[in-house]
Copies of this chain bind each other. A is one copy, B any other.
Amino acid sequence: MDLPAYLTQRTALIDRALDGFLPRATVKPATIHKAMRYSLFAGGKRLRPVLTLAAAEACGGTLPAATPAACAVECIHTYSLIHDDLPCMDDDDLRRGRPTSHKVFGEGVAVLAGDALLTIAFEILAQASATARYPMPALIRELASASGSQWLIGGQVADLEGEGKKHTGTQLQYIHRCKTAALLTASIRLGAMSADATPARLAALTAFGQALGLAFQVIDDILDVTQTTEKLGKTAGKDVAATKATYPAVHGLARSRREAHRLTRAALTALAPFGSRAATLRALADYLLARDY
């Protein structure tokens, strides 16, 4: 399959849907809607919503049914980036190749733009079509749990608290599971739920998401060390400078690369029950592993 063409087409589809869900930039008060849109339409890869749609299709679902969940996870992801970049957190000036939200709009509006994207994520998800097996409360709980105090937010807390300290492999894996794998897994699960997936298929995709999420973060850690700021679109070497919990710091580069390969293989193995229906998910996993490092 022509993955770059596929990604371009899917990104455009997701961008159009997000544009429809978000208030226009002119809606009062304009500042907040400009700030929400500035970060949401900053050229992100849309990895999570792409996975939502692909998981839905692997389970025989349709794109329209999966689109609200796809957009909701992207709003959560973007809010978390805005808040993580704040001076009181990771203090970063650059994101997706552009100045961060607080650099453009000031810290107060950046906090509020994050809050507003977090809030609208649930409003968008509420527009999904629930099924008998996965009613609306189950969808809300899925997103709230993955992005809540024990996963996405919990991971950021652990990361903040760990800065400057020496990390063990166990702590590192805990942070990565929380900060990255949980929301990525929820993105995939919400896609499967929108397709009314059987419990067996949902379980298989959960295993896929957990392995892929960790693999993705290991690779991100490697890229932080090996790539330039220009290429990353965010400040390179940042994690090392902040003595953050990263795979290369704890395990070295060579072992980190082996780990990324091992996790990707585990992710692919989890897809076995799907046969050819998971071709796109397989291609995405291979693509993430091969990001030029």
Contact = CB atoms under 8 A, between A and B. Distances in A.
B108 A126 contact: no
A115 B82 CA distance: 12
Contacts of A122: 122, 140, 143-144
A32 interface: yes
B32 A116 contact: no
A125 to B, nearest CB: 8
A148 interface: yes
Contact of A120 (B31, B106, B149): B149
A147 to B, nearest CB: 6
Contacts of A116: 148-149, 153
A171 to B, nearest CB: 11
Contacts of A29: 154, 157-158, 161
Of A33, A108, A127, A141, chain B has the most CB atoms within 10 Å of the CB of A108
A140 B136 contact: yes
A119 interface: yes
A36 interface: yes
Contact of A140 (B114, B123, B145): B123
A112 interface: yes
Interface stretch (A83-91, A190-198, A280-288): A83-91
Interface residues of A, number: 50
A36 B79 CA distance: 19
Given A123-B144, A136-B140, A140-B123, A115 B32 contact: no
A112 B88 CA distance: 11
Interface in A117-144: 118-120, 122-123, 125-127, 130, 135-137, 140-141, 143-144
Interface in A1-44: 23, 27-29, 31-33, 36
A220 to B, nearest CB: 21
B109 A83 contact: no
A144 B120 contact: yes
21 contacts: A36-B149, A83-B111, A83-B115, A88-B108, A109-B157, A109-B160, A112-B153, A112-B157, A115-B115, A115-B118, A116-B149, A119-B153, A120-B148, A120-B149, A123-B140, A123-B141, A123-B148, A125-B140, A126-B140, A130-B136, A140-B140
Interface of A: 23, 27-29, 31-33, 36, 79, 83, 86, 88-89, 106-109, 111-112, 114-116, 118-120, 122-123, 125-127, 130, 135-137, 140-141, 143-145, 147-150, 153-154, 156-158, 160-161
